[in-house]
Amino acid sequence: MNDAYAPAERMVALLKAGTVPSNIAQDAALGRLSLPLASRICVLAYLARDGGALAAQASRTLSRVQPELLIDLAAHPAAPDYLRAYVASRQESPLGEEPDWAEISPEEKAFLDLARSETDPFTLVDADPEEVRELNTLLDAPAPGKPTTRTDSPLSRIAKMSVPQRVQCALRGSRDERLLLIRDSNKVVQRAVLGSPRLTTNDVELISNMRNVSDEVLRGIAASRKFMASMVIIRNLVNNPRTPLDVALPLVKHLFQNDLRILSSNKNVNELLRRMAVKTLQEKLTQ
C-alpha cells in the first residue's frame, strides 16, 4: 500500500478494535492526527461511514475538504475501500432539499431553516446582458428531440438549484461557487456565503471590490471584525460606489494618506465621501 495511505489502515484497525483513547479518536474526527493528508482523510471517511458517535463530527470535517481532492485520493490504486465508498456516496447524494441534519452544524441548520420556506429562482444582482442570456438558456427546457447542452460550470450547476440547495452550496461549495452565489439576489443565500466556514479573507477582498453585489453584502462585510482587520478590504469598501454611505464614512479615518488622496479624486463615490477624505487628509498632514 502507498505510504500516504498505510497509516490510515493501522489507525482504522485500532478504531475497529476499540483500543484508541477517546481524546485521540476525537482528534481523528476533527482531522487533527499527525498523519499524511491522505491518511487523515481516509480515517475521517471511515468514521463518517461507521455510524458511531464520531460520525457527525467526521462528516462535518470532511465537508470542508475540496471535492476534487477527495475524488483524486479515492481514485488512487492504494485508496482503501471505505474511502471509495464515502466518495461514491457523496457523489450519489448531491445537495438537496433535505440534507442529513445529523451531519451539519447548528449554524448551518439555522441558515437552512430560513431557506426552507424560500422559493426564489436563482437570479444575479446586476446581471449583465450576457449573463441574462446564459441563465435563460440554462433554465429553458430544451425543445422535444433537441439534445441538451451539458456543461459543468458553477453557473450551470447553481442555476437550477432551489434556495435550500443554494444555501448548502454557499456553505460547503467551492470558491468559484461562493463568488457566484454572493451575487444571488436572495438575502438568505448572501448571508450563507458570508457565514461559510470556507470563506477566506482573500475571498472577501475580491467581494468587497465587486460593483455587482447587493449593498447588504457590503454592509455585512463591514460588520465583521475579522474581515475589517484587512486594510485591503477597508480600502475596497470606501472606494466601492455600492457601499452604503453610512458604512463607508466611518472607515475613512482608517485610511493612509495615499489612500485618502486616491479616494478624494474618486469620481465614482459620493461627493460627501470625497470631502471627508480631503478633510481627514488635511488633519493627518497637520498632526
Domain boundaries, the chain: 6-94, 104-199, 200-287
Q: What is the mean pLDDT of residues 186-208?
A: 93
- pLDDT, greater one: 51 or 260: 260
Q: What is the rounded average pLDDT for all residues in the chain? A: 85
Q: Are 142 and 119 in contact (CB under 8 A)?
A: no
- Residues 29, 43: Cα–Cα separation, whole Å: 8
Q: How confident is the model at residue 140 (pLDDT cuts 50, 70, 90)?
A: low
Q: What is the mean pLDDT of residues 159-181?
A: 89
Task: Indicate the angle between helix axes 6-17 and 22-29, nearest 10 degrees.
Answer: 130
Q: Which pLDDT score, from 0 to 100, does residue 147 have?
A: 45
User: Cell numbers of 137, please?
Assistant: 438558456
Buried b (16+ CB within 10 A) or exposed e, 107-142: ebeebbebbeeeeeebebbeeeeeeeebbeebeeee
- Res. 255: pLDDT tops 50: yes
Mean pLDDT of 250-271: 95
Q: What is the pLDDT of residue 188?
A: 95
Q: Above 50 in pLDDT, residue 48?
A: yes
Angstrom distance (rounded) from CA 228 to CA 250:
12
Looking at residue 256, what is its pLDDT? 95
Q: Is the pLDDT of residue 106 over 90?
A: no
pLDDT band at 175 (very low <50, low <70, confident <90, very high): confident
Helix and strand totals (H; E) in the chain = 18, 0
Yes or no: say if 203 and 122 are a contact pair by the CB < 8 Å rule.
no
Q: Burial, 61: exposed, middle or buried (Cβ in 10 Å; 0-12, 13-18, 19+)? A: buried
Confidence of residue 104 (pLDDT cuts 50, 70, 90): low
What integer is the mean pLDDT of 203-213? Answer: 92
Question: Rounded mean pLDDT of 6-10?
Answer: 91
Res. 226: pLDDT tops 50: yes
CB 153 within 8 A of CB 142: no
Contact 28, 11 (CB under 8 A): yes
Burial class (CB in 10 A: 0-12, 13-18, 19+), 75: exposed
